Amino acid sequence: MKKHAIIPIFIPHRGCPNDCVFCNQRKITARTDDVTPDDARQIIDTWLSTLRPVPVRNDSGESNSSTVEVAFYGGSFTGLSIVEQSSFLSVADEYKQKRLIDKIHLSTRPDYIDEDILENLLHYHVDTIELGVQSFDDEVLRLSNRGHTADDVFEAVRLIKKYGFELGIQLMIGLPGDSLESCIMSARKTVELGPSLARLYPTIVLDETELYEMYVRDEYVPLSREEAVLRTKEMYKILDDAGITIMRVGLKSTDIIGEGGAINGGTYHPAFRQLVEGEIAKERIEPLLRDFLLSNEVSKSENKHQKVSVYSSKRWFSDMIGHHACNRRYFTKEYPSLDIAFFVDESLPDGVFRVSSRDS
Ligand code: SF4
């Protein structure tokens, strides 16, 4: 069983009268029907039947299993009327009170947070509120027709923290008007706000969106793959260094391929996270190899074939090798004097690498 299982309940476009240029919520969630609280109950039951047949915790509250979370995604949950929010939340809370799930999670907009809403979420034992912030650059928010400013985010976070909810922040890369600098600024502001989790989404041009129209009118140019990976990498490092859990990097194919497909240019890649982590691995391993050459008095191109081992944690092993072994190929080409092999060292933290000689 997975250590952290999320039961996703998508509520497409419900509760959202906004029109962000990049959003076609019905496509993103690959659904067109409205989800009802009864549907939510069915979804939870179906997932629980595959996740675990017995309650999560014993009477003393000890867990003998993994964390299971019900998450209301899509749309803007707290934009629903309080009555509608309560009808969904009461279902999730019922499972939480029976100890069949551990946590309740929802995503919403920064300007749909106020004290009344938070009181209600508290009443239904919601744990985590994830804010779709997208950018801290007001011009980017304006050009993306988000309908809120960075100040709205600061105020929402202040309230969320006052009520003691766990905070998540979603950021997008490559929105109209955004740049490497504004992406880095957004990542730094995120760190200042201290969320426990974050998601990074490169902008995808979806059918039937204003962004698609802008793309057709040559008013918006999607980021190249290279630029999207570069910006995301810089943000990832800032968030990761601050100890923020990066739950997702890039959309899943099932998020965007609904009826009729949805990609028109843009920056979708099924292994986007690996592209980003692979670049980070390359960037961190290269100075170690240079130091190795220096300390062994071997030049980069000398025909010496000195044996070198490069180590990573288990989780980062495939990132170290790179997508389709691109890092392996890169290092082999750039360092012909080295005979490089890659290994796992379980003692290494994720994203940390070690290089040593295999001759000794
Ligand atoms: S607030 Fe969210 S659901 Fe509403 S239009 Fe914008 S991205 Fe779509």
Ligand 1 neighbour 108 (Cβ under 6 A): no
User: Ligand 1 centre and the CA of 177: distance in Å?
Assistant: 18
Ligand 1 neighbour 107 (Cβ under 6 A): no
Distance, CA of 12 to CA of 34 (rounded, Å): 7
Max alpha carbon distance in the chain (Å)? 73
Distance, CA of 200 to CA of 185 (rounded, Å): 14
Query: What SS3 state is found at 53?
Result: coil
User: Ligand 1 centre and the CA of 164: distance in Å?
Assistant: 25
> Which residue has a Cα nearest atom 2 of ligand 1?
75
| CB contact at 8 A, 45 and 37 | no
pLDDT at 13: 64
User: Ligand 1 centre and the CA of 146: distance in Å?
Assistant: 8
Ligand 1 neighbour 26 (Cβ under 6 A): no
Ligand 1 neighbour 18 (Cβ under 6 A): yes
pLDDT at 261: 45
Q: Which of 203, 228, 79, 225 is nearest to 135 (CA)?
A: 203
pLDDT at 2: 47
pLDDT at 61: 45
* Tokens (6 digits) for 113: 């947070």
Instruction: Let me know how long the chain is.
Output: 360
| CB contact at 8 A, 133 and 170 | yes
- The pLDDT profile of the chain, 360 residues, written as one tens digit per residue, is 447 899 999 887 655 678 899 987 655 544 456 789 999 999 999 999 987 554 455 444 444 458 999 999 877 899 999 999 999 999 999 999 999 999 999 999 999 999 999 999 999 999 999 999 999 999 999 999 999 999 999 999 999 999 999 999 999 999 999 999 999 999 999 999 999 999 999 998 888 889 989 999 999 999 999 999 999 999 999 999 999 999 999 987 666 554 344 555 557 888 899 999 999 999 999 999 999 998 887 776 666 678 999 999 999 999 999 999 999 999 999 999 999 999 999 999 999 999 999 875
SS (H, E, C) 62-98: CECCCEEEEEEECCCHHHCCHHHHHHHHHHHHHHHHC
* Tokens (6 digits) for 172: 């997008």
Q: Which amino acid is at 135?
A: S
- ∠ CA 235-3-197, nearest 5°, is 25
Ligand 1 neighbour 45 (Cβ under 6 A): no
> Which residue has a Cα nearest atom 6 of ligand 1?
20
User: Ligand 1 centre and the CA of 207: distance in Å?
Assistant: 15
pLDDT at 28: 52
* Tokens (6 digits) for 144: 């993306």
User: Ligand 1 centre and the CA of 26: distance in Å?
Assistant: 11
Q: Which of 205, 198, 185, 206 is nearest to 249 (CA)?
A: 198
| CB contact at 8 A, 9 and 35 | yes
Characterize the bridge pairing of strands 354-357 and 306-312: antiparallel
Residue boundaries of the structural domains of the chain: 4-270, 277-357
Ligand 1 neighbour 16 (Cβ under 6 A): yes
> Which residue has a Cα nearest atom 1 of ligand 1?
18
The CA R_g of the chain, rounded to the nearest whole Å, is 23
Mutate to test the pocket of ligand 1, among 13, 24, 31, 76 (most ligand atoms within 8 A of CB): 76
User: Ligand 1 centre and the CA of 138: distance in Å?
Assistant: 17
Distance, CA of 63 to CA of 5 (rounded, Å): 14
Strand (E) or helix (H) holding 104 = strand 103-108
Ligand 1 neighbour 13 (Cβ under 6 A): yes
Q: Which of 87, 159, 161 is nearest to 124 (CA)?
A: 87
Compute how many other C-beta atoms are within 10 angstroms of the C-beta atom of residue 317: 15
Strands (DSSP E) found in the chain: 4-10, 67-73, 103-108, 128-134, 166-173, 197-202, 245-249, 306-312, 338-344, 354-357
Atom of ligand 1 nearest to the CA of 28: 8
List of residues 6+ apart from 281 with CB closer than 8 A: 312, 316, 319, 320, 322, 327, 351, 353
> Which residue has a Cα nearest atom 8 of ligand 1?
23
Ligand 1 neighbour 24 (Cβ under 6 A): no
pLDDT at 53: 52
User: Ligand 1 centre and the CA of 330: distance in Å?
Assistant: 40
> Which residue has a Cα nearest atom 3 of ligand 1?
75
Atom of ligand 1 nearest to the CA of 24: 8
Atom of ligand 1 nearest to the CA of 75: 3
Compute how many other C-beta atoms are within 10 angstroms of the C-beta atom of residue 275: 22
Atom of ligand 1 nearest to the CA of 13: 3
User: Ligand 1 centre and the CA of 45: distance in Å?
Assistant: 28
Atom of ligand 1 nearest to the CA of 132: 2
> Considering the domain 4-270 in this protein, what is its CATH number?
3.20.20.70
pLDDT at 51: 78
Strands (DSSP E) found in 193-237: 197-202
Task: Give strand pairing partners of 108.
Answer: 131
